[in-house]
Copies of this chain bind each other. A is one copy, B any other.
Amino acid sequence: MALLVALDKPVEPGLAGLLCRVPGVAGVKVGLPAALRGGIGWARSVARECDGLRVVDFKLADISSVMASTVEPFLGHYDAFIAHSFVGVEGALDGLKSLLDSAGAKLVLVATMSHEGARDVYDPSLPLVERVVERVDPWGIVAPATRPGLVSRLRGRFPGKVILSPGVGAQGARPGAALCAGADYEIVGRSIMDTGDPVEAARLVAAAQERALASCGGGAVGGG
């Protein structure tokens, strides 16, 4: 149970439920383009269909009042919410964390990202970002499957945190690469959803993760 399927476009009713029942699929992650196009009602219907881990990924990066107002319609429907560590604590992540705690929801902080441009500012700021993660104490962190060395570093630095890794598939990382480096979940979007048969594609990715884990000696994965 280490695969999170990223929905970056609205999907037909029923498909999210089918994806969540594929062996190895832990849940779904709804992105901003999908939520804007599909609307809050669509996002809630996805959450109703899927009884796995339901993640809202808007890469929140604003002051606390705006982030709080953004997540409110999804509280009680989704389990976890992704925000950028970059925005810092006071007046931003402190308020979001309090709101999510009081709603019984989980906070996931981006530690760095999967694309080349993450080397421009995010990576050089990693020590500062790690201090924000320490202070905010989120449930999970996001670290890129495309750069497994960073996943290993963050696994060592934050042994108790759940690690979610994007970048598998269209962005170049192979299924299992981040799991072998210490991640709990791999997030896969386009290489599942941009196929003619997303359910079968999800099955294949989950199987590839299992094979990779067997060969790297990984044990039971998928926190929660």
Contact = CB atoms under 8 A, between A and B. Distances in A.
Copies in the complex: 2
A115 B61 contact: no
A121 B59 contact: no
Contact of A87 (B33, B62, B117): B117
A33 to B, nearest CB: 4
Given A32-B62, A32-B66, A58-B32, A128 B117 contact: no
Interface string A57-96: 0111111111001101100000000001111111111100
A88 B115 contact: yes
Contacts of A87: 113, 115, 117-118, 121-122
A131 B120 contact: yes
A125 B128 CA distance: 9
Given A92-B117, A117-B92, A86 B33 contact: no
Given A88-B120, A125-B128, 18 more contacts: A31-B66, A33-B66, A33-B69, A36-B36, A36-B39, A59-B60, A59-B61, A61-B61, A63-B114, A86-B125, A88-B113, A88-B119, A88-B121, A91-B115, A91-B117, A92-B118, A124-B125, A124-B128
